[in-house]
Structure 1
């Protein structure tokens, strides 16, 4: 229910706290998402062998796309947007598909397939009310659980210095990441009031200072970044290739299921209630529109950010004003690249130390969702098999090396795809039996055995 306009509570979606109180809470969300937002276009440009100018342009468009997609979800336009405290932006889940398409068809091939994928995402949103029963808590919760588990290696790699770092696993990297984590833990568990809510920004601040002492902070990106930049319509063109479109449509549909999980985790973990059909409908429709529209300007597909869902679940801060400040900062950074470049100076160990506890919160939110259904033998089978196969294949990617390229492309890059497919399929195929039904079966079996 909508609160009064005078609310200043950070625990009220419509609350508008003072700017000074909201700013550090917003920075937590910015710092949690910034590296992912800028890393995806860097990876894609490397795949298509793009120029430095193209790399900088795609980073700026990614920041703008992330900001606008988040603002749409917070404030909505008509039926577009969930009106929930959720951060959206260029998503990591797409990376394997984007790089595979880019290597074969270039950036224009990616953007053409993305346009179709975004439209399909909107179609899923249009029909979600009719098919939502296919995604009960045991399915959505399993997806969220796997999202959390699949993020652990990212956090640990960050803590150790980042993949490809020449000093990966050094004592300095671990010292910085562990100090960051320790400060987050101490502040979140022992501080009170506003300071407790800002535990992540406190940890990042402490880790950043220590990393400066070790000489780990590089300010050269700030000097190299231009002062002003604007997106250009159809600068990179659009090409449509069947194989690219099929791959992109599949990952966009899978991402829609991830969005269901993330939005469910937001309402359950941050607002102590279930996700409504209206919120889900608007969230998927808005994300599909942003994904399709971004392709026209060179922006990559958008997705809900699970790490920010974890922050909401951890702090219970749901004021859209707080999250909107984060989006506005990203928008400014998109047009004034030097602002965004400042955020990229934060070393990976600092981000890893600050986010690993957040990823753990996502995992526990998934557990909360799963246990909203009865833990019958049927549901335990769905969860356990989904976890075993998805995380097993993720740990041993060579196990699917002989599959057709399209399947390898979709399955190998993300355990979320495997977990979604298995949990969804088993939920359809396995007989729907409650704990009471299973107990009755056991008694009947025991009677039959005694009679025999």
Structure 2
């Protein structure tokens, strides 16, 4: 037991408060940024394309998402007073809110969407200040159920996008692409070696 614990400890090259060499820090930072940018950009693109927004509007929304995500990530790292964690904690857009953002943007425009964003952020700030009081409520069972309900709430939006194809495209294009992606993802995740399983989602896409 001691030998296995010691071998695992040897794999840790730097403690959380240590400073790696600058070239290594830059290289790892660029890798992390490259992986993170896709997620930050994807949600605004899905949102604007679903509601039929223009290319110019989509570009502006993506730009705003990147700026806000970058600024808030810097605040997390810098930690000013009680604001920020002091560690690299990525702040970005989340597809979990698409089920609310799409109808809000369709029915009330950008003003309604901005109002909902501000209201939801205030609720999150309030929960964060008293998070320890909610541990008995937000149990792993409750949190797991909520995570399961997120893709269910997005199912209508996903099915809507499957039928949103150009006129000269085969109606089977979207379902076939989805099926192939799921098969590749499942096959790599279940049957592939360890290194491939860790990147199964990316290879499926």
TM-score, normalised to structure 2, is: 0.63
Structure 2 distance, partners of 1:83, 1:150, is: 31
Confirm or deny: 8 A CA contact 1:38 1:62 kept in the other structure. Answer: yes
Structure 2 distance, partners of 1:24, 1:354, is: 25
1:119 aligned onto 2:122: yes
Could you say if the C-alpha distance between residues 144 and 76 of structure 1 is closer, same or farther in structure 2, counting changes exceeding 3 Å? farther
Which has the bigger relative contact order, CA under 8 A and spacing at least 6?
1
Q: Which residue of 2 aligns with 1:62?
A: 65
Q: Which residue of 2 aligns with 1:352?
A: 202
| 1:357-381 Cα deviation digits (max 9, x unpaired) | xxxxxxxxxxxxxxxxxxxxxxxxx
Could you say if the C-alpha distance between residues 115 and 150 of structure 1 is closer, same or farther in structure 2, counting changes exceeding 3 Å? closer
The equivalent position to 2:44 in structure 1, one of 38, 41, 44, is 41
SS in 1 for 2:53: coil
The equivalent position to 1:135 in structure 2, one of 134, 138, 160, is 138
Q: Which residue of 2 aligns with 1:444?
A: none
Structure 1 distance, partners of 2:147, 2:115, is: 32
The structure with more radius of gyration: 1
Confirm or deny: 8 A CA contact 1:48 1:103 kept in the other structure. Answer: yes
Structure 2 distance, partners of 1:351, 1:66, is: 23
Q: Which residue of 1 aligns with 2:54?
A: 51
Could you say if the C-alpha distance between residues 11 and 186 of structure 1 is closer, same or farther in structure 2, counting changes exceeding 3 Å? farther
Using the TM superposition, give the Cα deviation of residue 54 of structure 1 relative to its aligned residue in structure 2, in angstroms: 1.8
The equivalent position to 2:28 in structure 1, one of 3, 25, 29, is 25
Number of positions where the alignment pairs a residue of Structure 1 with one of Structure 2: 173
Structure 1 distance, partners of 2:147, 2:112, is: 33
Structure 1 distance, partners of 2:193, 2:92, is: 30
1:82 aligned onto 2:85: yes
1:73 aligned onto 2:68: no
Q: Which residue of 2 aligns with 1:110?
A: 113
Structure 2 unaligned blocks of 5 or more: 1-11
| 1:342-401 Cα deviation digits (max 9, x unpaired) | xxxxxxxx963178xxxxxxxxxxxxxxxxxxxxxxxxxxxxxxxxxxxxxxxxxxxxxx
Structure 1 distance, partners of 2:202, 2:195, is: 17
Could you say if the C-alpha distance between residues 144 and 44 of structure 1 is closer, same or farther in structure 2, counting changes exceeding 3 Å? closer
Confirm or deny: 8 A CA contact 2:14 2:20 kept in the other structure. Answer: no
Structure 2 distance, partners of 1:99, 1:39, is: 14
Using the TM superposition, give the Cα deviation of residue 116 of structure 1 relative to its aligned residue in structure 2, in angstroms: 1.9
SS in 2 for 1:88: coil
